[in-house]
Chain A
């Protein structure tokens, strides 16, 4: 069974440019998460989807970040415009549902903003 797939693995952009990350969760997993991981830190939740509905986006900086999960399967996280402080790893995870307790993570997308 395929795991959580993320792309691109690495992205280098200049500040003020837009960037997008894509995530395909494990088949059948209804819950999808985007996490931000800064260097030397644990992951921090940005947004959680139950199917196509964003049920927790309280930590998503909505002035520049947006996300969507059309059709309740794969998801895209966008940053526009990117700032230097956005350099981090963006992790996508999925689970069967919110109560299962086990998240399956992708390998992450490492963003460097110059």
Chain B
């Protein structure tokens, strides 16, 4: 069955530091992959998506993600984190429906 794993429940970084959030998926074919962000009390917002083509995709708010087929991964990165990036981040895979991981909570210290 298709699944998404986000191994890190909670990550804390200092403002200005780089960030990488991990995501691994399980799916037989090449999936459609997404990263969503959820700020407290808000709905989810799409950061970026991968369908095909270039394995490095750029998203909003300075985020990027790299699809690595050999590792079944789709990790999210940002070179310099801002305090406003503190939120919950969800990786998702779309087969015939969107399946979300359990999320990674990002805390940013000044």
**A→B interface (CB under 8 Å):** 3-4, 40-45, 48, 56, 91, 93, 101-108
Contact = CB atoms under 8 A, between A and B. Distances in A.
Contacts of B98: 45, 103
State which size class the interface on B falls in. 20 to 34
Listed residue (B41, B42, B97, B102) with the most chain A CB atoms within 10 angstroms of its CB: B97
Interface string B75-108: 0000000000000001010101110111100000
Interface in B24-49: 32, 34, 36, 41-46, 49
B34 to A, nearest CB: 7
Listed residue (B51, B92, B100, B102) with the most chain A CB atoms within 10 angstroms of its CB: B100
Contacts of B4: 42
A103 B45 CA distance: 8
A107 B46 contact: no
A46 to B, nearest CB: 11
Pairs A-B, 3 closest by C-beta atoms: A42-B100, A105-B43, A105-B44
A101 B97 contact: no
B97 A56 contact: yes
Listed residue (B42, B97, B98) with the most chain A CB atoms within 10 angstroms of its CB: B98
**Main secondary structure on chain A at its contact with chain B?**
loop
Contacts of B90: 42-43
Given A45-B97, A45-B98, A101-B51, A108 B103 contact: no
Contact of A101 (B32, B44, B102, B103): B32
B100 A91 contact: no
A86 to B, nearest CB: 19
B9 to A, nearest CB: 8
Contacts of A56: 96-97
Nearest to B90: A42
Contact of A44 (B32, B41, B100): B100
